[in-house]
Amino acid sequence: MRICRTPAGMNAACRDLRKGGRTLGLVPTMGALHEGHMSLVTAAKTDCDAVAVSIFVNPAQFSPNEDYAAYPRTFEEDCRKLEQAGVDLVFAPAAEEMWPVVNTTFVEPGEIATRLDGASRPGHFRGVATIVARLFNIVQPDRAYFGQKDAAQIAVLRHIVRDLNFSVHLIVCPIVREPDGLAMSSRNRYLSTPQRERALVLHQALAAAEKLATSGELSAEVIRHRLQTSLAAASDVRPDYVAVVDPDTLLPVQDVSAGALVAVAAWVGTTRLIDNLVLPPRTKA
């Protein structure tokens, strides 16, 4: 497994991997790899002739008051996992390699970037869109793998891939959960033991909403209300957003018969967690 530290070196290494029409998969990460990330690597290994993983904690997607400095960095452990999984190439640039001078060009995704996490984290999706566009340009992958946990991110990335004609297929892999249902996240390690227990309420609230929908409820407002009351039952959990939206546009839906993304974000202590599920379109009885 080769590790590249500069965009130019990575670009050349990826050209080599793609030679002779071999397909290349990219798994963009911020490191602190867990089973969720590794499921993306496994999917890429299954689909593609070669697999590249990027590990870069992207400052442009953090607000000044967020956890950029504290974000877990476990590079050596990450590399052991990736090597074991048969990854060909790791891109781990220093921040100075990505920003040798002040970057003033941004990929601006428009309105969609102001919804869900984009509403709570202004500029976040501009930062995500810009770094992902840069990774696409450096790696030029055939396929890129993202987790369903970041549902709003996926909508934004589909949007920029379409609008800017990127020649890459976005592959979305299911959320990977702990045995008790908590969605895996690099930020889960911030949680104390009692917080870790309370964090389960996100998954439980989604399960309650799903049960309601499965039992025939079509009103997005009723489902949203159930989510809110479920979340409110837990102490020291402060909801950020509770959304029942179109998964492509992230705009609120009135009823869920055409399918819907049900998404929550909540603060557990000082840790912000997200989780979601997709309600399938309702087949007429």
Query: In the complex, what is the shortest distance from the CB of residue 129 to its own copies, in angstroms, rounded to a whole number?
Result: 7
Per CB under 8 A, the list member of 1, 2, 9, 11 interacting with its own copies is 11
Per CB under 8 A, the list member of 24, 60, 79, 133 interacting with its own copies is 133
Closer residue to its own copies in complex, CB, 137/229: 137
24 binds its own copies (CB under 8 A): no
Per CB under 8 A, the list member of 44, 129, 191, 220 interacting with its own copies is 129
281 binds its own copies (CB under 8 A): no
Which residues in the 139-168 window bind its own copies by CB under 8 A?
140, 159-160, 162-167
Q: Is 37 annotated in the active site?
A: yes
Neighbours of 105 (CB within 10 A): 8
Crossing angle of helices 7-18 and 124-139, in 10° steps, is 50
Q: Of these residues, 37, 124, 159, 203, which one is catalytic?
A: 37
Closer residue to its own copies in complex, CB, 101/285: 101
* Alpha-carbon span 127 to 116, nearest angstrom: 15
**Cβ atoms of 48 and 23 closer than 8 Å:** yes
Could you tell me the sign of the dihedral formed by the alpha carbons of 176, 131, 122, 70, in that order?
Answer: positive
103 binds its own copies (CB under 8 A): yes
Closer residue to its own copies in complex, CB, 133/244: 133
Question: Token digits for 146?
Answer: 């993202």
Could you tell me the sign of the dihedral formed by the alpha carbons of 201, 207, 211, 214, in that order?
Answer: positive
Q: Which residues contact 223 (CB under 8 A, 6 or more apart)?
A: 209, 212, 213, 217, 244, 256, 262
H or E element, residue 209: helix 200-214
Q: Which of 132, 143, 136 is nearest to 46 (CA)?
A: 143
110 binds its own copies (CB under 8 A): yes
Closer residue to its own copies in complex, CB, 97/255: 97
How many residues sit in the footprint of its own copies (CB under 8 A)? Answer: 30
Residues designated catalytic: 37
- Interface residues with its own copies (CB under 8 A) are 7, 11, 19, 21, 101, 103-112, 129-130, 133-134, 137-138, 140, 159-160, 162-167
